[in-house]
Amino acid sequence: MNDMTLMDKTVDTQKIKIAAKDVNVYYGDTHAIKDVNVEIEDNTVTAFIGPSGCGKSTFLRCLNRMNDTISTCKVKGDILLDGEDIYDKRVDPVQLRAKVGMVFQKPNPFPKSIYDNVAYGPRIHGLAKNKAELDEIVEKSLRRGAIWDEVKDRLDAPGTGLSGGQQQRLCIARAVATEPEVLLMDEPCSALDPIATAQVEELIDELRSQYSVVIVTHSMQQAARVSQKTAFFHLGSLVEFGHTGTIFTNPEDPRTESYITGRIG
């Protein structure tokens, strides 16, 4: 990738969607995330990069409280979504997760039909009044997931019967079907081949127009290709956060530079 294009990838100052302040996460006695402060903007793709075990996935899962399912996990500090603390006692994680959708590392469609996979979220949140509306949501979501043309003739076929890349795009369609405002992606392409990866990356760029996208990735090229902002995590700390172009061409911290040039990680 040409360094000059990276430099050009600047973004207008956007509204802050998620603000994390002094976030610490503990798994039992392990201190997994240390004093992370980060501001994630709307209509922006933010990439979290860093070596394995640096806490980037953990931090991502804090953003929609998926860590609640792990009983030993404790989160301290504030994470504000549109200025509201998502760890407030009054917040129901179910409502939060409808607003903050998630796509996982391994494509995990439900063992149901393609239609039911996408329709499940709208159904449980009561987003459709009747079958026609639901059909509409399903079609819109599948189109946004850039998979409509491939599956429109077999919506009744099982979602698990699709190829890996199609499954992942189906999962993205499923995530956007609940009309979230933020989309979290935990290494969405790590189980996909290069062609499927390219399709998903293209999709991520399109999704930016409607959502704030946060993506965890092991691939620095991918971060450089799809994101406008990049955060580099190392050993549980946020080392550096800034414009993707700056991080990749002119990092401030020597650890970032070492990682990007391949000397650590």
Partner 1 sequence: MTDLSQSPAGAAPEPRKHGGSLLEQTPRTKRRNAAEKRFRAYGIAAIAAGLVMLLILVTTIVGKGTGAFQQTFVTLEVELLESKLDKKGERNIEDIKKVTTFGYAPIIKGAMEAAVAEYGIETSLKAKELAGILSKDVAAQLRDYVIANPDQIGQTVEFRFLASSRVDGYLKGRVTRDSIVNDKNISAEQLDLVDALAAAGVLEKTFNLDFITGADASDARPEAAGIGVSMLGSLFMMLVVLALALPIGVAASIYLEEFAPQNWLTDMIEVNISNLAAVPSIVFGILGLAVFINYMHLPTSAPLVGGLVLTLMTLPTIIISTRASLKAVPPSIRDAALGVGASKMQAVFHHVLPLAAPGILTGTIIGLAQALGETAPLLLIGMVGFIASNAPETIADGLLAPNSAMPAQIYEWAKRADPAFYERAWGGIIILLLFLVTMNTLAVILRRRFERRW
Q: Which stretch binds partner 1 (CB under 8 A): 89-97, 129-137, 145-153, 230-238?
A: 89-97
Q: Does 57 bind partner 1 (CB under 8 A)?
A: no
> Of 164-193, which residues contact partner 1 (CB under 8 A)?
171, 174-175, 177-178
Q: Does 70 bind partner 1 (CB under 8 A)?
A: no
Burial of residue 180 (number of CB atoms within 10 Å: 0-12, 13-18, 19+): buried
Among 48, 59, 104, 233, binds partner 1 (CB under 8 A): 104
Q: Does 98 bind partner 1 (CB under 8 A)?
A: yes
Q: Which stretch binds partner 1 (CB under 8 A): 33-41, 62-70, 236-244, 251-259?
A: 62-70
Residues 137 and 20: their CA atoms lie apart, in Å, by 32
Tokens 């050993």 correspond to what residue?
235
Residue type, 189: C
Q: Which stretch binds partner 1 (CB under 8 A): 29-37, 99-107, 188-196, 220-228?
A: 99-107
Q: Does 160 bind partner 1 (CB under 8 A)?
A: yes
Closest CA to 200 of 212, 218, 185, 180: 185
CB-nearer residue toward partner 1: 15 or 263: 263
Sheet holding 212-216, edge to edge: 84-85, 73-81, 16-27, 30-41, 237-243, 229-234, 45-49, 212-216, 182-186, 100-103
List of residues contacting partner 1 (CB under 8 A)? 64, 66, 69, 71, 94-95, 97-98, 101-104, 106, 108-111, 120-121, 124-125, 158, 160-161, 171, 174-175, 177-178
